[in-house]
Amino acid sequence: MLYDELVSEWLAYNLEHAVELNFLILLNAIDFAAIKHEGQYREGVLGTPYVIHPLGVVKSLWFEGGVREVSTLTAALLHDTLEDTQTTADEIEACFGYRVRSIVEELTDDSQLSSEEKKQKQVEHARHYSREARLIKLADRLYNIRDLKNLNPSERLACRSYLQWSLKLLNALRGTNAALEALLEAEILVQLAENH
């Protein structure tokens, strides 16, 4: 009896504080990403601090994809830390748990591969990604394609192959999130039409 009462009290406490806990986890992940990407900037004419990118991916997941699951949003904030910073997978696990670690690992390209090989592997692997990794990949690519507008005109001309690879990636990710897929497809097609 006492045990049952304790369990129900604990469950009630968790329900009451879940929003607060999720907020703290996300705030920690924002702080972690901002520190890890410190001194890095996005390509393009604006000189945007790199951390604006993972923040934008999370915004897109939340507002455009309707994604609310905290492990997906946390992994989205960290999705480039293994690939582009000194962060280790163990560090992510220690701070955010095993699930977030494994999603970020799925999204990390093998640094030994050439950029063409990376694109090929991303398309091949996309079908086998977890649902969380597929959601993040869609929002990540949507952000990156929108961001091409900030390149200078000669760099943009070189992006045709990236746009074509993105269509292949999108096709491999279909069935994940209709809203994000439609936005990504429209953005790729508009830019392919402009870029020839």
| Residue closer to Zn ion (CB basis): 25 or 142 | 142
**Is residue 106 a contact residue for Zn ion (CB under 5 A)?**
no
Number of residues this chain uses to bind Zn ion (CB under 5 A): 2
- Segment interacting with Zn ion (CB under 5 A) among 42-50, 74-82, 110-118, 145-153: 74-82
| Residue closer to Zn ion (CB basis): 107 or 172 | 107
- Segment interacting with Zn ion (CB under 5 A) among 21-29, 42-50, 134-142, 188-196: 134-142
Q: Which residue is nearest to Zn ion (CB)?
A: 140
| Residue closer to Zn ion (CB basis): 140 or 187 | 140
Active site residue 117: no
Give the whole-angstrom CA distance, residue 98 versus residue 75: 11
Q: SS3 string of the chain? A: CHHHHHHHHHHHHHHHHHHHHHHHHHHHHHHHHHHHCCCCECCCCCCCECCHHHHHHHHHHHHHCCCCCHHHHHHHHHCCHHHHCCCCHHHHHHHHCHHHHHHHHHCCCCCCCCHHHHHHHHHHHHCCCCHHHHHHHHHHHHHHHHHHHHCCHHHHHCCHHHHHHHHHHHHHHCCCCHHHHHHHHHHHHHHHHHCC
**Is residue 132 a contact residue for Zn ion (CB under 5 A)?**
no
**Is residue 140 a contact residue for Zn ion (CB under 5 A)?**
yes
* C-alpha angle 45-32-39 in degrees, rounded to nearest 5: 35
- Segment interacting with Zn ion (CB under 5 A) among 37-45, 76-84, 123-131, 188-196: 76-84
* Distance in Å, CB of 76 to Zn ion, minimum: 9
| Residue closer to Zn ion (CB basis): 55 or 167 | 55
The catalytic residue among 43, 84, 93, 105 is: 84
Binding site for Zn ion (CB under 5 A): 80, 140
Residue positions annotated with a catalytic role: 83-84
